[in-house]
Amino acid sequence: MKKRTTIWTVLILLAMASFSFSRPLLASPTEEAAVKNAVEQFYAALNAMFTGNLDPMKAVWSHADDVTYLGPTGGFYVGWNQVLPVWQAQTAMKLGGKVTPADMHITIGHDLAITENYERGENTNAAGKTQTVSIRATNIFRKEGSQWKMIGHHTDLLSYLQK
């Protein structure tokens, strides 16, 4: 009888472990707040970039070789050494305006977080005309030390930024 009880106990524990590993990780309220803060910092950095200030953008990004950027100007850039010059070029445009995230969905794992949302607002094109921004965006963050850093940003294209 004791052997049968032990076998059932082991089977139940295995089933419970299997179930817990197949479910998405649920973030603690502290981690969720930290990811939301990283998202807020990114969009504040994006809007600062529109005024010609690149420093906040440099601070929110990981400077690793595996970061990726597929932004509204087109292209596919891998590694901080490729991503930084694109942000520098966009900063030099001084597009003005403001973009904010809308309808955000956040998924948080152990050391990765993903947000999908719309970016809505406006910029100014090279001719000085106000342009509406309404694009989809995916942002990927990685926990590096105690901070969530951006490692990926992917958006729809904006025709007025195409070369």
10-residue mean pLDDT profile of the chain (163 residues): values are 55 45 63 96 98 98 98 96 97 95 96 97 86 97 97 94 71
Predicted pLDDT at 163: 60
**Backbone dihedral angles phi then psi of residue 65, each to the nearest 5 degrees:** -75, -10
* pLDDT value, residue 161: 80
Q: What is the pLDDT of residue 47?
A: 98
Query: What pLDDT score does 85 carry?
Result: 98
Topology annotation, domain 26-161: Nuclear Transport Factor 2; Chain: A, (3.10.450)
Count of CB atoms situated within 10 Å of the CB of 64:
12
pTM of this structure: 0.82
Delimit the domains of the chain by residue range. 26-161
Using CA atoms, how far apart are residues 58 and 78, in angstroms rounded to an integer? 15
H or E element, residue 48: helix 29-49
Say what the pLDDT of residue 13 is: 47
The 3 state secondary structure assigned to 63-128 is: CCCCCEEECCCCCCEECHHHHHHHHHHHHHHCCCCEEEEEEEEEEECCCEEEEEEEEEEEEECCCC
pLDDT at 23: 40
Query: Under a CB-based contact definition with an 8 Å cutoff, are residues 47 and 98 in contact?
Result: yes
